[in-house]
Amino acid sequence: MTIPHIVVIGSANTDMVVKMPRLPRPGETVLGGRFFMAAGGKGANQAVAAARLGARVTFVGRLGRDMFGRQTEENLRREGIDTTYLTWDAETPSGVALIMVSEDGENSIAVAPGANGALTPADVERAESAIAGASAVVLQLEVPLDAVQRAVELAASHGVRAILNPAPAAPLPHDLLCRVDLLTPNEHEARLLSGPDGGAADGAEAAAEALLARGVRAVAMTLGRRGALVAEAGRMELVPSFKVTPVDTTGAGDAFNGALAFMWGQGHPLVEAVRYANAVAALATTVMGAQPSMPTAEKVAEFLRTG
């Protein structure tokens, strides 16, 4: 098996999680919660997901010089992730996320980005040698857009495929979208991006077609329990999900993206890579917490064999 080198550029947070009987309504207090802390952040989650599946992973991000930042670096190193290109910020605290999870696995999340919001194009440029030698570069939108744009430009200049998970949802310029090799939105994000002026296409397939028309080379759109829609030139295919009983959906999308980068970085066809990523995402929903839920390659193989 070829070991892909995945460069992940993005956020790293500390998640403060409360497991609730149900999510509170505005102005309501719900008692009976259980609290724990776990490593999180979309970028770090995706890096851990790919690393546990067997990829060689380099993480590019920005941390505060505080307890949370030190813990984040230790966690990444423990996963075997290269942290050479972490930037330390003495003025801004590390990012944190406050997460409530209901008994049926649904969640509500508030994020204070902290140092993630200070990542610069120059921070990305320092990692150019890693980007140049990567199988794929993975990005999200929990860091500033100019840093994302610079990363996509560098990937393109070195002939490296760029995977953009456009979350949290935000409008994106055409010159960025047309450089993206694979866009991985959920249905809401796809609808937001499907029109050049923010106009939303009607339905997942129409949104995917509109994104291809805007210059994206391929789309893998996550549709929750329905699975994922793969769209590329001349092809549109729904890849079904795997049935599990979820306990926490936090990080499932990140598990999907990390697994997709791992498989696509090995050269697997996109539909095959998405099927594997669906399995990894399903497994991730069966464990509490974001990074704690990322499965190993052995667990995924067993799940595919028995499920």
Look-up: residue for tokens 């776990």? 38
The 10 Å CB-count burial string (b at 16+, else e) for 44-58 is bbbbbbbbbbbbbbb
**What is the 3-class SS of 177-230, one letter each residue?**
HCCCCEECCEHHHHHHHCCCCCCCCCCHHHHHHHHHHCCCCEEEEECHHHCEEE
Q: What is the CA radius of gyration of the chain?
A: 18
Question: Left (φ > 0), alpha (ψ -120 to 50) or beta: where does 68 sit?
Answer: alpha
Question: How many C-beta atoms surround the C-beta of residue 159 within 10 A?
Answer: 7
Q: Which residues make Cβ contacts (< 8 Å) with residue 131, sequence separation at least 6? A: 7, 137, 151, 154, 155, 158, 160
Q: What is the H or E stretch that residue 123 is in?
A: helix 121-125
Question: Strand 235-239 vs strand 228-232: parallel, antiparallel, or unpaired?
Answer: antiparallel
Does residue 254 have an active-site annotation? yes
Do the beta carbons of residue 275 and residue 64 sit within 8 Å?
A: no
CA distance 216 to 179: 7
Q: How many residues appear in the chain?
A: 307
Q: What spatial distance separates the first Cα and last Cα of the chain, rounded to whole Å?
A: 23
Residue whose C-alpha is closest to residue 46's, from 15, 4, 88, 76: 76
Query: Which of 15, 89, 248, 254 does the annotation list as catalytic?
Result: 254
Catalytic residue list: 254
